[in-house]
Structure 1
Amino acid sequence: MYRSVGSTHCPKKTIYGMRRSNFELGDLPEDVLHTVFSKLQLNEVVRTSVLSNKWRHMWTISSKLSLDCAAICGRRRYFCDKQKYTQEFIDGVNTVLQQLRGKVVEELEVKVEFDSILVDHLDSWINFAVSSCTKNLALDLAPAEFVGVKDRYMFPIELFDSASIPRIQHIQLSCISFRPHSPFRGFPNLKKLDLHLFDVSVLDLDDMLSGCPNLEWLSFIRCRVSDELKVKQPLSRLLYLHIAHCTITKVELRAENLKTFVYHGGRLPIDLGQVKNLETAELRLYGITFEYVLSVLPNVLLGVQNVTLQTSYLPLEMPLFLENISSFSRLKFLRLLLFVSCRESDNIVSLASFLRAAPLIEELEMHFDASCLEGVGWGTLRSLPGSYNYLRKVHITGFNGIKGQLEFLVHIVENAPVLEVLTVDPRKKLGLCQCNASDFMASRDSVRSELDGKILPSTEVHIL
């Protein structure tokens, strides 16, 4: 029975004297206004200066300062002369900072393409950050085209004193070289370090990271180390680690409480230490083999619960099922994004080795980039053993209906006794789709034909 909810217990009342209040924001006490404005970004506060003469200089109390070249110059560079555009930015920033001398600026961000004429001014702006008690510092000096970048700003760590170093909590550095004159012992209260196009020696990097015991978030993108990323001291508070497209030969650190690991690049030795509870790993790899993925990665990503793996090419070699593989003992969710060549399309069912390596898996996503359309729905399918007792949801895209994909699909359906939801989509999420409507129709027909009589009555099936 449905029960309607009425208003029988709310007697009607006539409300008298309701009128709009004449109270305005400007009526607030000045100290309250200061608190409100200090929470806003600089560009938001500047807009308020035109609303009232009283607020004309209120923007100078903002504790968050973002100095973006497009905002300061009023346009993007595009076809402007780079040096004139940069000089205009320099003049604008110096004007702003001159009016903020003596103020507390907790967050300072500078975003402009690096040019040699910036060096002395960047040093001055860092001096401003030190004197303004800045906690979060971002220097984004990356060029629009960063391939082959050689010129970088030499970060002047010597400008930081004994009072400012413990104050720093977040640092973002892009297109920076770090070459301290003496060993730098790190930022003891740093929580987030974001490095992009960062040039540093392995010794200087080790010294810096070893002196950041409170680090929680660490990212290296297109950084030039040309050696091992090795940290002697444990990073026991590190929760997030991102490494992408770096000239690193090995990763070795101790991060026992790591929750998320993101890696984009080639095959290299990785040792994260005895991680207690790794929740998520996102990997985009090249130059790898089946054996590496199923024999090495489980020992790197100890106890991982969610894995996303993307690779441009993963050889699908015989035998169909690999032996002596390691186990993803706690893996619950697996997302695979794979390119499959025509000559290996008949061996797609070997991907079930991933399921055999994850005895507790509950959800699988497969995103194929398989351009081969030959033999859609042709041939007798092989029946292979398996047991996936916890698998509840399967979602496959880029499903062309070729024999190898059908074998893989039927293998899962026949060996997943608690499967709740199955979604099959011929459209691609990976790579270019060159199929037409008739190809999609053939794919859907082949799926329906092969699932007939094999799918559990309780399974919810979506053929898109």
Structure 2
Amino acid sequence: MDILSRILSLLPINEAIRTSVLSRKWKYVWCSHSNLTLNKGTMRKPYVKTSTGYRWLRDNEFITRADAVLRQHSGMGVERMEIKFGLHSKHADHIDRWVNFAIASKTKEFVIDLSGWDKSIFFSKLSAGNHRIVREPPYNLPSQLFSPSYGSSLRCLELTTVSLQIPADFKGFLNLKSLSLVDVSITDEEVQCMLSKCNLLEFLDISFCKTVTSIRMLHPLDQLKHLVIDICPKLQEIELNCSLTTLKYSGNMIPLIFASTSRLTNSSIVFLTYGSALSYIATGFPSTLPRLETLNLHCAERERTIVPEGPFKFTYLRNLRLELFLPGHENIRKTDVLDYAHLLKIAPFMETLELSLVMVGL
């Protein structure tokens, strides 16, 4: 039975459930499935497929099928539980039951994505200036999720399009290694509280959070190696006491301050406001990265910048990709692409240089 359970755990939950019709022996094997992925794909029955494709899965259909799966599951051995469907605060009673199931089963990896969209949709909407994504009030996470009894079990937590209020007695997620907050209603103080009580955190993603203005944590985050910050429209500063190896940032040009940058080797930066890419590389944040090996920079610029000569060189930089958005009208554009030959001076050991120029407003 252990071998059968292991085999079924490699199947999507809907496929595992279908094996229950094979025999009496197989009927309940799926009930110990360790990977509970509840989304519009796994909760859709085969007969809803039409000649033009799959019929849209309704809220009540998703809820009914998700309830049926969790009602029959043993609640034991759940490694990962994912709830991914477009739901809101009016569905709170149902979502609360699913969250309580995850807590009771001590799920190690818990994903709640109530947006109903891929992350790329958030990028396209917010980069275009549309800061309002959902019309319904977001679901508010229950305080039980932050209880000490569950906090020691959790290894990975991913939250999308929810609201959370951290209780005053929050002790932290003592073994949490990966935290993702996407389109989450959260305050600066709550972000700081989360970070201060997750000492084993290795990966942090804060994206499309419209209420966050500052990500600041002077308490050492010794294990944090990978940081992703995507388009938080009101964000004004990032200051963390950590030593990253990879950084991905997109948004306005703001100060990026880290206690140590000696280990940061891979950086991807997308600026949504006008600025000088050449000046930023030579005198901005990248110039503080002594061991930078790979840099991807997306920038929109109008003005030509003459970078002063200096002793600094990127001796470790091997791969550089620049994507520049330039005004198409010559009366507006004052840049000169030949200025970027300066990069060959400050990065003498560069192996790959990719320069992409996009003329806008033609």
- Are residues 1:254 and 2:225 paired? no
Aligned to 1:207, what secondary structure does the other structure show?
Answer: helix
Deviations 1:138-191 (A, max 9, x none): 000014476513621111133443221111001110001121231534211111
- Are residues 1:339 and 2:325 paired? yes
The match for 2:91 is: 118
Aligned to 1:128, what secondary structure does the other structure show?
Answer: helix
Aligned to 1:272, what secondary structure does the other structure show?
Answer: strand
Task: Decide whether the 8 Å contact of 1:298 with 1:327 is kept in 2.
Answer: no
- Are residues 1:43 and 2:26 paired? no
The match for 2:32 is: 61
Give 1:170-185 correspondences, 5 Å limit: 170-182=156-168, 184-185=170-171
Aligned to 1:198, what secondary structure does the other structure show?
Answer: coil
Task: Decide whether the 8 Å contact of 2:146 with 2:166 is kept in 1.
Answer: no
- Are residues 1:265 and 2:254 paired? no
Distance in 2 (alpha carbons) for counterparts of 1:327 and 1:206: 35
Cα deviation, residue 116, structure 1:
2.7
Aligned residues: 338
Gaps of 5+ in 2: 123-129
The match for 1:294 is: 282
Cα deviation, residue 325, structure 1:
8.2
Give 1:338-377 correspondences, 5 Å limit: 338-341=324-327, 343=330, 344=333, 347-370=336-359
Distance in 2 (alpha carbons) for counterparts of 1:48 and 1:239: 41
The match for 1:88 is: 61
The match for 1:72 is: 43
Aligned to 1:67, what secondary structure does the other structure show?
Answer: strand
Distance in 1 (alpha carbons) for counterparts of 2:76 and 2:115: 28
Larger Rg: 1
Distance change (3 Å), C-alpha of 1:183 and 1:228: farther
The match for 2:125 is: none
Aligned to 1:48, what secondary structure does the other structure show?
Answer: helix
Aligned to 1:189, what secondary structure does the other structure show?
Answer: coil
Distance in 2 (alpha carbons) for counterparts of 1:212 and 1:326: 37
Aligned to 1:242, what secondary structure does the other structure show?
Answer: strand
Task: Decide whether the 8 Å contact of 1:206 with 1:232 is kept in 2.
Answer: no
Q: Aligned to 1:215, which of 194, 201, 205?
A: 201
> Aligned partner of 1:306: which letter?
T
Stretch deviating more after TM superposition (68-77 or 333-342): 68-77
Q: Aligned to 1:304, which of 292, 302, 309?
A: 292
> Aligned partner of 2:192: which letter?
D
Distance change (3 Å), C-alpha of 1:35 and 1:291: closer
The match for 2:183 is: 197
Cα deviation, residue 338, structure 1:
1.5
Distance in 1 (alpha carbons) for counterparts of 2:312 and 2:169: 41
> Aligned partner of 1:57: which letter?
Y
- Are residues 1:274 and 2:260 paired? yes
Distance change (3 Å), C-alpha of 1:204 and 1:160: closer
Give 1:159-178 correspondences, 5 Å limit: 159-178=145-164
> Aligned partner of 2:101: which letter?
F
Task: Decide whether the 8 Å contact of 1:114 with 1:175 is kept in 2.
Answer: no
RMSD: 2.8
Task: Decide whether the 8 Å contact of 1:185 with 1:207 is kept in 2.
Answer: no
TM-score by length of 2: 0.84
Give the structure with the higher percent strand: 2
Task: Decide whether the 8 Å contact of 2:302 with 2:334 is kept in 1.
Answer: no
Distance change (3 Å), C-alpha of 1:327 and 1:200: farther
Aligned to 1:215, what secondary structure does the other structure show?
Answer: coil
Cα deviation, residue 196, structure 1:
0.7
Cα deviation, residue 275, structure 1:
2.4
Task: Decide whether the 8 Å contact of 1:112 with 1:142 is kept in 2.
Answer: yes
Task: Decide whether the 8 Å contact of 2:323 with 2:356 is kept in 1.
Answer: yes
Task: Decide whether the 8 Å contact of 2:256 with 2:285 is kept in 1.
Answer: no
Task: Decide whether the 8 Å contact of 1:38 with 1:63 is kept in 2.
Answer: yes
Aligned to 1:172, what secondary structure does the other structure show?
Answer: strand
The match for 1:451 is: none
Distance in 2 (alpha carbons) for counterparts of 1:159 and 1:341: 49
Distance in 2 (alpha carbons) for counterparts of 1:358 and 1:300: 14
Distance change (3 Å), C-alpha of 1:157 and 1:57: same
Distance in 1 (alpha carbons) for counterparts of 2:185 and 2:335: 46
Q: Aligned to 2:172, which of 168, 186, 189?
A: 186
Cα deviation, residue 371, structure 1:
7.8
Distance in 1 (alpha carbons) for counterparts of 2:270 and 2:169: 34
Distance change (3 Å), C-alpha of 1:318 and 1:305: closer
Task: Decide whether the 8 Å contact of 1:266 with 1:288 is kept in 2.
Answer: no
Task: Decide whether the 8 Å contact of 1:40 with 1:62 is kept in 2.
Answer: no
Higher RCO (C-alpha under 8 Å, 6+ residues apart): 2
Distance in 2 (alpha carbons) for counterparts of 1:112 and 1:249: 31
Q: Aligned to 2:230, which of 244, 248, 266?
A: 244
Distance in 1 (alpha carbons) for counterparts of 2:239 and 2:264: 16
The match for 2:126 is: none
Distance in 1 (alpha carbons) for counterparts of 2:342 and 2:171: 46
Deviations 1:73-94 (A, max 9, x none): 44699986x9xx2122211111
Task: Decide whether the 8 Å contact of 2:75 with 2:105 is kept in 1.
Answer: yes
> Aligned partner of 2:78: which letter?
V
Gaps of 5+ in 1: 1-29, 373-433, 435-464
Q: Among all aligned residue pairs of Structure 1 and Structure 2, give the percentage whose two residues are the same amino acid.
A: 30
